[in-house]
Amino acid sequence: MADSGSNSLESGSQNSSGGSSGDAAQKKVKAPKVVKSRYMQYSKPKATKLKNNVANTTLSPGKGHERSRSGSLKSVGLQRLKAALNKTMQKSSPKSLSTPAQRKSKRETTSAVSIPEDTIEMLESQTLIFTYLTMKMQKNIRRLEDKAERSLLLAHEEKMQLQEKVQQLKRELLLNRREEQLNNLLEKQVESLAPSTAATPQFKANYTTFATALDCTRHQMPIRDIHITGTRQSFLDDVQKHLGSTRALLEATPSSDNDMLDTIKNLEDVVHKTDAELSRSLHQTLDLASKVNKEVSLQSQKLVEENSETEVLRQLYFDGQ
């Protein structure tokens, strides 16, 4: 409604300016002075009082609507009447003949007519409503911003969790691929080694035979320091002949085990006694030899001291002092 009133005022001013410009063009006189509109210029204390009253009282939708409608209708009617009066006045009397006093009175009348109280109250109520709506919109915007920020944080956390899950799945996929490659390689090795499995029992039997023969022959006496006349095979043949003759002699001799055991024990005792006597006599011989050497060295030293001069002895015993 207020927009329509302002539009009507603008149209009226345009018409009045159009008429005055036409008269000025016809009479070739000086252009009239443009008077600025004093629309919405009213006393502030009254406006603040009305604003406080509107803020303190609760707005009833029915009454406010009717009041705004009546105020807007009145303002539109007054603005149209004002525009028509201005148009007729401009047509009847030229602007160049008007005095400054008349212009001042005209401005006062136009300002007094164009600012009714209903319009002021309506504009104040609309301003209050717009202020309330602006504050509510700002509050809703802040709430929506907080909600959007929380949702963004949740989305970021979910994104990080999904990325970790994707990385874990990638690692598992790589491990599965490696295991599959190893299984394929083992299958190929088994296929290539299948012919050798048939020969395994024969190889096992041969290896057992070889190990047995090696175990039997590893205790063979070394013959590196034994003089053998002829070849090794001839020496073994001779040894086999001698062993055969020894076996025949042993079979021919009568067996007296008890006598042989007593003889062996006596022989062992004699051997031990002989060994002890030999070791004792050997120690005695060594002691006697050391004493003899000591005595010989002393005798030779005495002879050297008797035959040598004092200077030579001093050099020998005192390092040339």
| Rounded CA separation 26/20 (Å) | 10
For the full predicted model, state whether its pTM sits above 0.75: no
pLDDT band at 140 (very low <50, low <70, confident <90, very high): very high
More confident call, 317 vs 22: 317
Q: Identify the pLDDT of residue 275.
A: 82
Domain carrying residue 30: 2-132
Q: Is residue 73 part of a domain?
A: yes
Quote the pLDDT of residue 77: 55
Identify whether the C-beta of residue 32 lies closer than 8 Å to the C-beta of residue 100: no
Is residue 77 a part of any domain in this protein? yes
Does the residue 286 lie in any domain? no
84, part of any domain: yes
User: What digits encode the pLDDT tens for the residues 79-132?
Assistant: 665 666 666 555 544 444 456 566 666 565 555 556 778 888 888 888 999 999
Q: How far is 290 from 298, CA to CA, in rounded Å?
A: 12
Q: What is the pLDDT of residue 78?
A: 58
Three-point CA angle 305, 308, 310, nearest 5°: 90
Q: How confident is the model at residue 196 (pLDDT cuts 50, 70, 90)?
A: confident
Confirm whether 217 is domain-assigned.
no
On whether residue 27 sits in a domain, the answer given is: yes
Let me know if residue 38 belongs to a domain.
yes
Model pLDDT, residue 207:
83
Q: Is residue 87 part of a domain?
A: yes
Task: Give the relative orientation of helices 61-92 and 117-198 as an angle to the nearest 10 degrees.
Answer: 120
Total structural domains within the chain: 1
Residue 312 vs residue 66, higher pLDDT? 312
